[in-house]
Amino acid sequence: MTKRISIAVAGAGIGGLTAAALLADRGHHVEVFDQFHTPQPVGSGLVIQPVGQAVLDHIGAGDTARAFGNPIQRMLGHEADNDRKVLNVWYDKQSGGQYGLAIHRASLFQALYDAVQARDIAVHTKSLIAKAQDGMLHLNDRTVHGPFDLIVDATGAGSPLSPLQSTPLPYGAIWGTVDWPETEMPAHHLSQCYRRADRMIGVLPIGKVPGDPKPKAAIFWSMPRDSHDAWVQQGVHAWRDAAIALWPAFAPFAAQVHSPDQMTMARYAHGTLRKPWSPGIVHIGDAAHKASPQLGQGANMALLDALALARALDIASGDAALALYAKARRWHVMSYQTMSAAFTPQYQSDSRWLPVLRDRLLYPLSQVPPGPRVLTAIVCGTMLPPLRGLGRI
Ligand SMILES: Cc1cc2nc3c(=O)[nH]c(=O)nc-3n(C[C@H](O)[C@H](O)[C@H](O)COP(=O)(O)OP(=O)(O)OC[C@H]3O[C@@H](n4cnc5c(N)ncnc54)[C@H](O)[C@@H]3O)c2cc1C
């Protein structure tokens, strides 16, 4: 056992809360800082892949997450114009034992926050972090906390602490949460409809949110990153008509959207820190690597980073531990970042030829062995060992 240290976790999101719980379990003194006034998540639904679910189990958050969330067995996508299937990935066609856990962010946050509260961890709210220097955390209100032996930067895609330079992606999406309606849509599939690569509509059944027994769906509609204002101007009625014309089965979901405020615009960027640490500070999750959610791996990556960091601190200290964390995660992160960069334009771009390649060549190839097995390993997060040199999950 290496020495116990004092750690500030900057950001109480998916990676930050998980890291805080894992590090506190190892006897480190942990304090969490977040800008929120009362603990709260932002956004709609996401999928926690099997590797990420295993990390949740390490901190005792898995059962709560599973009780809220909804198992996804298959991802299915079709072309709007001709109804042809162009995405078909099973998690575990034979036994169904392995699945993606679709969950609303509020539910995942609840599971993670319960885990943090069950431990001796101070959570400082209303703490907008401005910078970190010499082990001290500086807030925007000019208060300074520390010194800490280590600062874990888990402040996400807009991190004020990370040197990550990223490239904005041309497409984003509006996301919303609606009740699961009377529908023929399968309740355990992520269902998507595409028009070429410039339109993607999705329905993700995400189970329940805290305080509401009705099952929910996360819905999304892709659009160029700068076209949100035009979408608001166009009005929700026109949008609903356009969406239903492309995908009639989407009607009972779209019918629940009455105001643009129900849909939140998410813009994506892509970039990876080559070295996700410097002395006294380490970056995890979106603060270390950003990608579009096309492969559904961002939350998993944050969970895996948290576990790798905790394990690295079990067997080394100081810079050596941070270097070990970076080494353990490098190939897994790089491979998913590369795949995300390759896949995203096939589904979200203005390209005319990429969707043709996707539909006519890549999709048929993906259905021939070993294609299905490879696709399953990609979505499950197990293409490469996620914690190289730091044990199994
Ligand atoms: C629309 C959308 C859909 C997605 N779908 C999926 C999916 O299906 N599967 C998947 O695995 N991933 C998905 N992702 C990606 C996933 O949400 C992120 O990768 C994941 O949330 C990253 O976790 P994190 O802990 O790094 O950051 P976050 O969860 O974003 O947490 C960051 C925290 O830091 C706090 N913070 C930020 N700045 C400051 C500051 N200056 N001071 C104090 N606090 C601060 C924030 O309040 C927040 O609590 C999706 C992302 C988007 C946008």
Q: Which residue, judged by its Cα, is nearest atom 36 of ligand 1?
A: 155
pLDDT of residue 44: 87
Task: Extract the tokens encoding 110.
Answer: 């609840």
Neighbours of 237 (CB within 10 A): 10
Q: Is the CB of 20 under 6 A from ligand 1?
A: no
Q: Is the CB of 380 under 6 A from ligand 1?
A: no
Q: Is the CB of 47 under 6 A from ligand 1?
A: yes
Q: Is the CB of 161 under 6 A from ligand 1?
A: no
pLDDT per position as a tens digit, 29-62 = 999 999 998 766 666 899 999 999 999 999 999 9
Task: Extract the tokens encoding 272.
Answer: 């990876």
Q: How far is the CA of 156 from the centre of ligand 1 (A)?
A: 5
Q: Is the CB of 16 under 6 A from ligand 1?
A: yes
Q: Which atom of ligand 1 is nearest to the CA of 46?
A: 8
Q: How far is the CA of 55 from the centre of ligand 1 (A)?
A: 17
Q: Is the CB of 303 under 6 A from ligand 1?
A: no
Q: Which residue, judged by its Cα, is nearest atom 3 of ligand 1?
A: 293
- Separation of alpha carbons 285 and 13, rounded Å: 9
- Separation of alpha carbons 362 and 358, rounded Å: 5
Q: Is the CB of 381 under 6 A from ligand 1?
A: no
Q: What is the Cα Rg of the chain in Å?
A: 21
DSSP code per residue over 283-308: E-GGGTEE--GGGS-HHHHHHHHHHH
Task: Extract the tokens encoding 345.
Answer: 């334009």
Q: Is the CB of 35 under 6 A from ligand 1?
A: yes
Q: Which atom of ligand 1 is nearest to the CA of 43?
A: 1
pLDDT of residue 40: 67
Q: Which atom of ligand 1 is nearest to the CA of 159?
A: 38
Q: Is the CB of 100 under 6 A from ligand 1?
A: no
Q: Is the CB of 60 under 6 A from ligand 1?
A: no
- pLDDT beneath 50, residues of the chain: none
Q: Of 302, 296, 297, which Cα lies nearest the Cα of 329?
A: 302
Q: Which atom of ligand 1 is nearest to the CA of 285?
A: 26
Q: Is the CB of 172 under 6 A from ligand 1?
A: no
Q: Which residue, judged by its Cα, is nearest atom 5 of ligand 1?
A: 46
pLDDT of residue 119: 97
Q: Is the CB of 340 under 6 A from ligand 1?
A: no
Among 155, 166, 190, say which to mutate for ligand 1: greatest number of ligand atoms within 8 Å of CB: 155
Q: Is the CB of 128 under 6 A from ligand 1?
A: yes
Q: Is the CB of 345 under 6 A from ligand 1?
A: no
Q: Of 204, 151, 184, 147, which Cα lies nearest the Cα of 32?
A: 151
Q: Which residue, judged by its Cα, is nearest atom 51 of ligand 1?
A: 293
Is residue 197 within 8 A of residue 350, CB to CB? The reply is: yes
Q: How far is the CA of 192 from the centre of ligand 1 (A)?
A: 23
Is residue 246 within 8 A of residue 193, CB to CB? The reply is: yes
Q: CA-based angle 91:92:94, to the nearest 5?
A: 155
Which regions of 158-232 does DSSP assign to beta strands (E)? 167-179, 189-195, 199-209, 212-224
Among 32, 40, 46, say which to mutate for ligand 1: greatest number of ligand atoms within 8 Å of CB: 46
> pTM of the entire structure?
0.96
